Structure 1
Amino acid sequence: MHDSPARRKTRPGRWRWAKRLVAAVVLGLVCACAWVLVAHERVRLDGEHELTEARAEVTDADPDWTWEKLNAARKKPPAGLNGADLVPEIKAATEPEWGQAFARDEFASRLDPLPNVQFAPDVLAQARRDLKGSADAVRLARQLKHRPTGHREIELAPNVVGTLLVDTQNTRLVADLLRWDVTLAIEDGDIRRASDSLLALLNASRSIGDEPLFVSQLVRMAVRSVAVRYTELALAQSPSVPLIELQAALAADAEEPLLLYGTRGERAALDRLFDNLQTGVVPLEEVLGPRPKNLWGWQDHAHLPMDRATALRRMTACVEAARRPLHEQAPALAAIPEPPADPHLVISGATLSTVENVAQAFWRTSAQARCAVVGIACERFRQQHRRWPGALTALVPAFLPAVPLDPYTGEPLQFAKLESGAVVYSVGSDRRGDGGTLDSVSNTAPRFRLWNPDQRRRPAPPAPAPEREPPP
């Protein structure tokens, strides 16, 4: 069959249109790719410009802000007085089974009585067995009395989230040893040992020093809270414990800018993490989780400079807030604007919530420490005058240089005389002020409780009867 002249005439025209269509598609793809590449480069360049400006801003405000410079400028204790050096020695001397007995259900509800109530005999007996097995560790821990500061070098992991702080975390173990040593010293009537171990317990917290990470400072706050708790217990069980040196140490520690230490360090560590992400030392997946293996996953890297600049500026605003007096820090943090609603700014978007969580712990524990300072002054007043002060202003200047301020209000801490004793308290984060009680229920606000002499060292409640096996 032969093509007609008409068919032979139109076929070349069809091929020309097909070629034009293919060329148009190819050209469109090339243009799309070029547009994506240009957009990618524009995002990256805009981010780099913002990052350069952000780094210049923070350098003007804080010249030693980078991880290397910040750590080089940290204070170091005199030789032989570094509390941090003792922590690994204490850990090594502690029996591996330490604390396991108290994890059993039989002790669960009896390890935190009111401070003026004695521990049950079987609890004390178990504590004696545990301390006897770790006697060398306890002797080492008591040496912290003479080491009020500490310093350790922190080696950041490439992915800074994975940085190990083993020795810092072991400070909790040291605090556990010392709190039971305080308890048993009081039981034994060894007031000198109880006083030494109380100061060593506070100095266990201070051994963390100005470690520039939030985890470190949270451990320091937690151990300081234990020291405050057992100071309260010591006064409720043995009012003859020497107080002047302990009050001075607590007063100094209560004013340590722990939030500032942590925020400056986290800013520097976060910037190091961004640097490792941008250079490929740390895969993006390690921080953000699995990323799509396509164009959008590739685009994530273009947004890192802008994310880094945003994080740096937000953390710098947090640092400036942390430099303020305690009662001004919450409003300053609240005034920091939210980051732009950009799904690519993933890391910087989480910075402020982290700082706020640590700040809440800092304000609470600082209020606790300030209440303890005033509570000790109240006890010293009572020992001298055989009564509680009528108001906290009566403590000035003989027992306090001034009444400390409540971190939540900027007003002086509050004081209440009750039927069974007295309490110094803060209004707390909810501003309710329900810390002005001696019971164990209304304890949402920071406080320091003191009992009248006839209400101290109350006997332990009877041990709970063992549960009977149900009849077959």
Structure 2
Amino acid sequence: MEDDKLSASTTGLSWATRLTLGCLLTPVILGLLVIIGGVVWYRSFVAEGQRAVQAEVAKIRASGSPLTSVELNASYQPHPDREDVTTELLAAIASLERPEIKAQAKVLPILDNGPEPPTPGQSWAQLAEVEAYLTAAADVGKFFESLPARNPTARFPVDLTAAIAARLDHVSTIRSAARLNSLQFHADLHRTNFDQAAERPLQSFALAQCLEAEPTTLSQLIRIAIIGMAVKDTEELLRHTSPTDDQLLSLQLAARKVDMLSGLKTAIEGERAFGYTVSVCPLSMLKGGKFTADEINEFAKSMPNRPADVALILSWYRRYLEGANDSVPAGMKVADEIELEVKELEKSPLKIMYVQSLLLLPALKAAFIAVARTEAQCKSLDATLAAHRYRQANGNWPTKLEELVPKYLSAIPLDPFNGQPLLVSQSNSEFKVYSVGENQIDDGGKWSKTDRSDYGFIATWHNQASENKEPQ
């Protein structure tokens, strides 16, 4: 009997122990299974990312585009079919950095904080100050006068191997030089030097060409700003004088030279090279560290530490370029798609796996919109000046753009925002050609400094006899 009790007691203890051990070991086993599963998933995730990186890199290599900042620095060269004016340009704009000239600029319009120039024919209190500044910066003006006939290009002495740490100091100085040229334009108008005034937009267009090969979005946005000045000054020119047919044709040809997509594609390739270099180099680059070309080349031989992250951003850049190679509308469509993907990824728990992509991808949708806007303005300028020439020859505006082809226009200009023909609005005194803009709606060709529903150009018609006399 006692043996039976002892056996039962022993058996009961054994099951209790087993149950306890089971309760303790089950979460441990489950935890181990989760860890093993996570390791297997992560290794598969990394392997898939490595394959994707290899595929994207192979496509870049096949295209002949630069992959790293070292290759980008080597590929950044002046346009082979144009005159390299780098040395002269840098020597001319260097004078703008002199302390006395910078001090003068601070109180002047367009350059800095001075009030806007009044309408030509009205008294301009700062005209003497403006002309004193322009005299002090005469080297810049003299160089600009030579640009339109030279079809210029440039390769600025910037070291792009530094990737995102590269210094682009020349860009702000060139923007200041473009503003100086616009200021000279307004001074010419006020002194009724209309022939000289008609040359200034041509000089701005030519200056913008010098930035066309720059492989950064910042440089391309400055180039866009300079072209915008040229367009604005051309519109102002037609408000106050009647240029000759030859002058109008020269402005048309300058606008036709503007190739915004080419510059944007170069910038996208440059930003991609910067991003890839950062992805294969130590994190100190993000903190301003600088590596030699040899060091970067050595780092680039290894697979990035975050292959899936790098593969994603490379695929985004590839898609941007594919869209840009098609057309501006196609590029903007891709930009919209990627923007949605970025927003979805930012909401996902997996966003921690793609931090680098989310951090390094530039705002390329805004760049595409800026390119489309500038292209719309240049095409509208071309068509509107064609209409102005038509009226000079025939005494009336054309009723439609088709009447301008082929004598005044090579083809009907298409709206970069939707791929359809640009729109026309006219009155006896004005002829307007415009784009529907990014909202894709015809707002009647209305725009202002604060509201850019549409984008375009207005040609004003007036009698030569009504032009303003030289102000006192």
TM over 0.5: yes
Give the AA of the match of 1:396.
V
Give the AA of the match of 1:165.
L
Aligned to 1:235: 238
Question: Does residue 126 of structure 2 align to residue 138 of structure 1?
Answer: no
Measured in 2, the distance between the counterparts of 1:286 and 1:150 equals: 30
Write the deviation string for residues 14-56 of structure 1: whole angstroms up to 9, x where unpaired: xxxxxx9xxx9xx99xx89x96988876655443333223222
Aligned to 1:333: 335
Give the AA of the match of 2:213.
D
Kept in 1: contact 2:186–2:197 (CA 8 A): yes
Question: Does residue 64 of structure 2 align to residue 58 of structure 1?
Answer: no
* Shift in Å, 1:249: 1.8
1:184 to 179, 182, 187: 187
Aligned to 1:252: 257
Measured in 2, the distance between the counterparts of 1:123 and 1:432 equals: 41
2:124 to 121, 126, 130: 121
User: For structure 2, which runs of at least 5 residues remain unmatched after alignment?
Assistant: 1-20, 290-302
* Shift in Å, 1:373: 1.1
Moved more, 188-197 or 386-395: 188-197
Query: What secondary structure does 2:384 align onto?
Result: helix
Kept in 1: contact 2:272–2:317 (CA 8 A): yes
Aligned to 1:380: 389
Aligned to 2:433: 424
- Are residues 103 and 121 of structure 1, via their aligned partners in 2, closer, same or farther at CA, if it must alter by over 3 Å? closer
Kept in 2: contact 1:174–1:204 (CA 8 A): no
TM-score (norm 1): 0.76
2:269 to 264, 268, 290: 264
Give the AA of the match of 1:156.
L
Measured in 2, the distance between the counterparts of 1:353 and 1:77 equals: 26
Measured in 2, the distance between the counterparts of 1:146 and 1:167 equals: 23
Matches within 5 A, 1:380-459: 380-434=389-443, 436-437=445-446, 443-454=452-463
Measured in 2, the distance between the counterparts of 1:87 and 1:77 equals: 15
Aligned to 1:347: 356
Kept in 2: contact 1:435–1:447 (CA 8 A): no
Measured in 1, the distance between the counterparts of 2:386 and 2:331 equals: 27
- Are residues 256 and 79 of structure 1, via their aligned partners in 2, closer, same or farther at CA, if it must alter by over 3 Å? closer
Write the deviation string for residues 187-233 of structure 1: whole angstroms up to 9, x where unpaired: 33434433333211111111112211111111111111011111111
1:99 to 92, 102, 105: 105
- Are residues 315 and 302 of structure 1, via their aligned partners in 2, closer, same or farther at CA, if it must alter by over 3 Å? closer
Give the AA of the match of 2:250.
E
* Shift in Å, 1:391: 1.6
* Shift in Å, 1:358: 1.0
Bigger fraction of residues in helix: 2
* Shift in Å, 1:326: 2.1
Measured in 2, the distance between the counterparts of 1:309 and 1:380 equals: 53
Aligned to 2:7: none
* Shift in Å, 1:250: 1.0
1:81 to 80, 83, 88: 83
- Are residues 313 and 97 of structure 1, via their aligned partners in 2, closer, same or farther at CA, if it must alter by over 3 Å? same
Kept in 2: contact 1:47–1:305 (CA 8 A): yes
- Are residues 228 and 78 of structure 1, via their aligned partners in 2, closer, same or farther at CA, if it must alter by over 3 Å? same
2:318 to 293, 316, 319: 316
What value does the CA root-mean-square deviation take over the aligned residues? 4.0
Aligned to 1:155: 159
Measured in 1, the distance between the counterparts of 2:220 and 2:113 equals: 30
* Shift in Å, 1:440: 6.6
Question: Does residue 209 of structure 2 align to residue 206 of structure 1?
Answer: yes
1:367 to 376, 379, 382: 376
Kept in 2: contact 1:423–1:438 (CA 8 A): no
Aligned to 1:274: 279
* Shift in Å, 1:459: 9.6
Write the deviation string for residues 394-438 of structure 1: whole angstroms up to 9, x where unpaired: 111110011210111211111111254221111111123336258
* Shift in Å, 1:263: 1.2
Give the AA of the match of 2:456.
R
Measured in 1, the distance between the counterparts of 2:401 and 2:48 equals: 57
Give the AA of the match of 1:82.
D
Measured in 2, the distance between the counterparts of 1:77 and 1:140 equals: 20
Write the deviation string for residues 270-297 of structure 1: whole angstroms up to 9, x where unpaired: 1112122xx45525x679xxxxxxxxxx
Matches within 5 A, 1:29-44: 44=46
Give the AA of the match of 2:65.
D
User: For structure 1, which runs of at least 5 residues remain unmatched after alignment?
Assistant: 1-19, 288-300, 461-472
Q: Taking every aligned residue pair, what percent have the same amino acid on both sides?
A: 22
Measured in 1, the distance between the counterparts of 2:429 and 2:107 equals: 34
Measured in 1, the distance between the counterparts of 2:80 and 2:262 equals: 21
Moved more, 146-155 or 451-460: 451-460
**How many pairs are equivalent?**
420
- Are residues 76 and 249 of structure 1, via their aligned partners in 2, closer, same or farther at CA, if it must alter by over 3 Å? same
* Shift in Å, 1:58: 3.5
Query: What secondary structure does 1:231 align onto?
Result: helix
- Are residues 328 and 272 of structure 1, via their aligned partners in 2, closer, same or farther at CA, if it must alter by over 3 Å? same
* Shift in Å, 1:323: 0.8
TM-score (norm 2): 0.76
Write the deviation string for residues 282-322 of structure 1: whole angstroms up to 9, x where unpaired: 25x679xxxxxxxxxxxxx9962221111111111111111
- Are residues 107 and 273 of structure 1, via their aligned partners in 2, closer, same or farther at CA, if it must alter by over 3 Å? closer
Query: What secondary structure does 2:432 align onto?
Result: strand
Give the AA of the match of 1:273.
V
- Are residues 73 and 442 of structure 1, via their aligned partners in 2, closer, same or farther at CA, if it must alter by over 3 Å? closer
Give the AA of the match of 1:238.
T
- Are residues 444 and 86 of structure 1, via their aligned partners in 2, closer, same or farther at CA, if it must alter by over 3 Å? farther
Measured in 1, the distance between the counterparts of 2:198 and 2:372 equals: 27
- Are residues 121 and 81 of structure 1, via their aligned partners in 2, closer, same or farther at CA, if it must alter by over 3 Å? same
* Shift in Å, 1:120: 4.7
